[in-house]
Amino acid sequence: MPYEPLLLRNAGKPGSETIDAYLASGGYQGLRRVLKESTPEKMVEEVKASGLRGRGGAGFATGVKWGFLPKTRDKPRYLCINADESEPGTFKDRLLIEKDPHLVLEGIILSAYAIECRTAFFYIRGEFHQGCRVFQRAVDEAYAKGFLGKNILGSGYDLDLVLYRGAGAYICGEETALLESLEGKRGLPRIKPPFPAIVGLYGCPTIINNVETLANVTLIAERGAAWYATIGRPPKNTGPKLYCLSGHVKRPGVYEAPLGVPLMELIEERAGGLLRPDRPLKAVVPGGSSMRILPASKCDVLMDFDSLVAAGSMLGSAAVIVMDAGTCMVWALLSLARFYAHESCGQCTPCREGTGWFVKILERLEAGQGRPEDVDLLTDVANKVEGNTICPFGEAIAWPVQSYVKTFREEYEEHVRRKGCPLAATATVS
C-alpha cells in the first residue's frame, strides 16, 4: 500500500496555509477533543506512549523531556518553539511553517496545554521572511477564532504566542543559545546543568521543542498514541518523518516517509536518483552537515535514530546531502569547515581556534601546499575539540572532520602527494 502522507497531507494544496482550509480538512479537532476530555497529565502520558522522539536533531523522547519540569508551580513555565532551522541541508520546518502553519500551531497549543504553559515563544530564523509572514498571519487567525488567547474554546485555558525573529546565527538553534537570544543577548550557549526544564527562559522552567516535533503532537492528539506507535519501526523509532534531499540528486526536496525508510529508496525513488548518469554515488551525509559521512558502500541503511547510530552516523535533522563521484572530499570538508568557523560563537577555545585550524589546513591541502602530517593533524585537532566545549557545536565540526578523513584518507594523502586537488575540475555540477 502506498504511504499516505500525514505531516504533508495539506502542504501541496492551494491555500493550505489558511485557517479555513485547515478547518475544512478536519484541523483543530484534536485540540477540541483534548481540551474537552483530557488533562495535561494525560496528554503528557499520551505523548510518552506514542514514542515520539524530538525531530530537531538529538532524538530525545519528547514526553520524557516534558516530564523533567519541576513539580512546583511557583514560577511561570514557558514553551519555546525552535524554528531556527539552520543545519546545512535542512529545510523541512520551513516547508511546514510556510505551507501548513496551523498543523504546527495546533501542536504548539496542545503541547503548551500539556506542560501547563501560558506564554509560548516561536523563535523563527530571521532569514525566513516568508515563513515569518505566513506564521504571523496564522497566529492572528487563531486568535480571531479563539484557538489562542483567553479561555481557549471555552476550556478556561489561556495561551499567548509571541513570534520572535532570530537575526542570523546558526548557534541560536542550540537550545540554550536560543534562550539567550530570546532574552535579547548574544547567542552564547549556557553550561548545562541546570537544564532549561529547570532554569530556562528568564530563569523559569522552559521546554524547547522543534517545529516538526510539535506537528507530530497534533497527529498524536488526533488519532491517539496507540495508532501513532505503529508507524515506523516501533518501539523506539515511531512516527512519520520529513527527509530533506539535497546535493547531487535529480529532484531535491522534502519527502515524507515513516522512520526507518531505506536511505537508498529516498535517493533513488523519491529524489529521482543521481543527477548525472555518468557519476555514481560517492557518499551521503544522512542527518545534516554535523553528522558523520557514510561512503556509498555503507548507504544500505534504514533512516531512523538507532539504525543510523549502528551505521556510525546519526539521523540528526534528516538532511540527506548526496555527493557523487565528482566530489572532492577535501573540498567538501573545507566548505563545511568555513561554515563552522564562521558560525562558532567563540566562547570556547577548542571550537573557536579549532575551526580556524581546520580551514587553514584544508585550504593548504586543496591548494597543493599540504604537508604529510596535515592529514593526522586534522584528526588530532578534531579529537581535541570533541567533548571539550560547552555545547554540541564542537562535535558538529569534529565528527565531520574525523569521519571524512578516516573514510577518505587515501584522497587526503593524494592531495599531499600530488600537490593539489585531483578532482578540482569536477567538484561541482556547473
Partner 1 sequence: MSLPVREETDRRIDELKGRFPHQGSALLPALYLIQEEKGYISDEAMEYVAGKIDVSPAFVAGVVSFYTLFHRGPTGRHHIQVCRTLPCALRGCQDLIAHLERRLGIKVGGTTPDGRFSLATVECLGACDTAPMLQIGDRDHGPLDARAVDALLESLR
Whether the Cβ atoms of residue 87 and residue 57 lie closer than 8 Å to each other: yes
**Binds partner 1 (CB under 8 A): choice among 50, 209, 289, 290:** 289
CB of 28 to partner 1, least distance (A): 26
30 vs 32: CA distance, rounded Å: 5
196 preceded by a cis bond (ω within 30 of 0): no
Under the binding rule (CB under 8 A), the answer on residue 248 touching partner 1 is yes
CA distance 38 to 116: 13
Among positions 206, 327, 355, 402, the unique one binding partner 1 when judged by CB under 8 A: 327
For the CB of residue 1, give the shortest distance to partner 1 in the complex, in Å: 27
* 232 part of the interface to partner 1, by CB under 8 A: no
Instruction: Answer positive or negative: Cα dihedral of 209, 215, 218, 224.
Output: negative
- 313 near partner 1 (CB under 8 A): no
- Examine residue 170 and tell whether it contacts partner 1 (CB under 8 A): yes
99 binds partner 1 (CB under 8 A): no
Q: Which of 252, 320, 318, 310 is nearest to 284 (CA)?
A: 320
Complex with partner 1: residue 93 or 386, whichever CB lies closer:
93
Stretch that binds partner 1, among 56-64, 307-315, 318-326, 355-363 (CB under 8 A): 318-326
Per CB under 8 A, 403 contacts partner 1:
no
- CB-nearer residue toward partner 1: 219 or 362: 362
Nearer to partner 1, 46 or 343 (CB): 343
Binding test (CB under 8 A) with partner 1, winner from 62, 90, 218, 402: 90
By CB under 8 A, name the one of 339, 357, 393, 399 that touches partner 1.
Answer: 339
Q: Output 181 or 238, the one with its CB closest to partner 1.
A: 181
What is the grid cell recorded at 329?
572530499
Burial bucket for residue 384 (CB in 10 Å: 0-12, 13-18, 19+): middle
Neighbours of 258 (CB within 10 A): 18
Position 57 contacts partner 1 (CB under 8 A): no
- Transcribe 268-305 into DSSP letters: IIIS-SBS-TTS-EEEEESSSTTSPPEEGGG---EESH
Please, which residue, 248 or 415, has the CB nearer to partner 1?
Answer: 248
Instruction: Map the footprint of partner 1 across residues 120-149, applying CB under 8 A.
Output: 125-130
Tell me how far CA of residue 8 lies from CA of 5, 96, 102, 103, 394, in angstroms.
5, 8, 12, 10, 33
Instruction: Tell me the residue ranges of DSSP E strands in 98-239.
Output: 119-124, 160-165, 206-210, 232-233, 237-238
Cα-only R_g, the chain: 22
Name the site residues for partner 1 (rule: CB under 8 A).
Answer: 76, 85-91, 94, 119, 125-130, 162, 164-170, 181-187, 202, 244-248, 252-254, 289, 319, 321, 323, 327, 332, 335-336, 338-339, 342-343, 345, 428-430
